[in-house]
Amino acid sequence: MSLGPDAGRLPAAYLAAGSSSFTEFLGAHAPQLLPSRRPLPAGSFEAPHGTTIVSATFDGGVVMAGDRRATMGNIIANRDMEKVFAADEYSAVGIAGTAGIAIELVKLFQVELEHYEKIEGALLSLEGKANRLASMIRANLGMAMQGLSVVPLFAGYDLERAGGRIFSYDVTGGCYEEKDHHSVGSGSLFARGSLKKRWRPGLSTDEAVTVAVEAIYDAADDDSATGGPDLGRRIWPTVAVVDEVGVRFLPDDQLRGVVEEVLAARDGNPGGAR
């Protein structure tokens, strides 16, 4: 590095006016840090994949749950991976797809939201957050074409409407608002069937948590890439609740109670409650 006239001072991109987006700043100043701006090697390879995420609304909020398994072909790459994250104080994001890139995108999304908050001194609207995530997924299309796709599920508490909302995405960055409940990932078909039968309007928080854990259980029952609750290792699904208080993750002892209840109800009745 040569010592030019700018040596040591903050580069021009830092002092440029206008943008309150961290991703745009990275694109201008350090594009190599954006997953979508890195050149891809030719050929294909196997990388760990994250699997099933479910989300369901309840009276006054929304719950999001994810299994803990990452797979690489027929191998279980990770048994206790976290795939549901708090995006900011009032929203959660769950990811299915290539784990490494998905987690990088979530990290970038978290900084994006906090960066906006600090620069603007205000929170983004829930649609604003959902659209930011959509543009990040859209930028990832080139990687998705090579098999490194990431499909998130975004859920948050809408401060304007005072209720929970769910947004789903496709690999091209399409963002769709879902009513009531949704699921993504390899086990999502089975989870969706379960949600359809078990979800009803006006659920309480605890009921919604049980419905979400059952949906993960049903997905794990029929999809080999989705991990069910593991009692021996004490691995439970990750469950986040988003309501007017903010995002919180359920503690392990509470999840253990929910899982044990679900298992007891299925003892000799593997289809579960209906």
Partner 1 sequence: MTSMPFYVSPEQLMKDRADYARKGIARGRSVVVLGYDRGILFVAENPSRALHKVSEIYDRIAFAAVGKYNEFENLRVAGVRYADLRGYSYDRIDVTARGLANAYAQTLGTVFTQESKPYEVEIVVAEVGESADDDQIYRLTYDGSVADERGFVAMGGAGDVIENALKDRWTPGMSLGAALTLAVELLGKDPAGGHDRTLEPTQLEVAVLDRERPRRTFRRIGGGLLRDLLNHTSRVTNAPEVDDATPGHHDILTGETPRDETTNPQTQRPAAEEADGD
Which amino acids are annotated catalytic? 51
Residue window 164-193: x/- pattern of binding to partner 1, with contact defined by CB under 8 A: ------------------------------
**Binder to partner 1 among 59, 72, 77, 82 (CB under 8 A)?**
82
Which C-beta is closer to partner 1: that of 206 or that of 221?
206
**Looking at 2, 3, 5, 264, which residue binds partner 1 (CB under 8 A)?**
5
Distance CA 5, CA 24 (A): 25
Residues 16-55 that bind partner 1 (CB under 8 A): 17, 22, 25-26, 29-30, 33
What does each C-alpha distance from 268 to 194, 219, 271, 273 come to in angstroms?
Answer: 18, 19, 9, 12
Decide whether 56 or 87 has the Cβ nearer to partner 1.
87
Q: For residue 210, how far is the Cα from the chain centroid?
A: 19
Residue among 72, 80, 142, 249 that touches partner 1 (CB under 8 A): 249
**How many Å apart are CA 182 and CA 152, to the nearest integer?**
11
Residue 3 carries which side chain, given as an amino acid letter? L
CB nearer to partner 1: pick between 115 and 197: 115
The shares of helix, strand and coil residues in the chain, as percent rounded to the nearest 5, are: 35, 25, 35
The answer to whether the beta carbons of residues 175 and 167 sit under 8 Å apart is yes
Residue number with CB closer to partner 1 (2 or 74)? 2
**Binding of residue 110 to partner 1 (CB under 8 A):** yes
Min CB(23)–partner 1 separation in Å: 11
The residue to which tokens 């069937």 are assigned: 193
Pick out residues in 192-221 that bind partner 1 (CB under 8 A): none
Residues 6+ apart with CB under 8 A from 21: 112, 115, 116, 132
The CA–CA distances, whole Å, from 42 to 30, 38, 50, 86, 205 equal 24, 13, 23, 34, 47
- Contact segment (CB under 8 A) with partner 1 among 80-88, 201-209, 257-265, 266-274 equals 80-88
Q: Where are the alpha helices (DSSP H) in 44-161?
A: 99-120, 126-138, 141-145
Residues from 119 through 158 that contact partner 1 (CB under 8 A): 119, 121-123, 157
Least Å distance between CB 194 and partner 1?
26
> Which residues are near partner 1 by CB under 8 A?
5-10, 13-15, 17, 22, 25-26, 29-30, 33, 82, 85-90, 107-108, 110-111, 113-115, 117-119, 121-123, 157, 159, 162, 244-249, 251
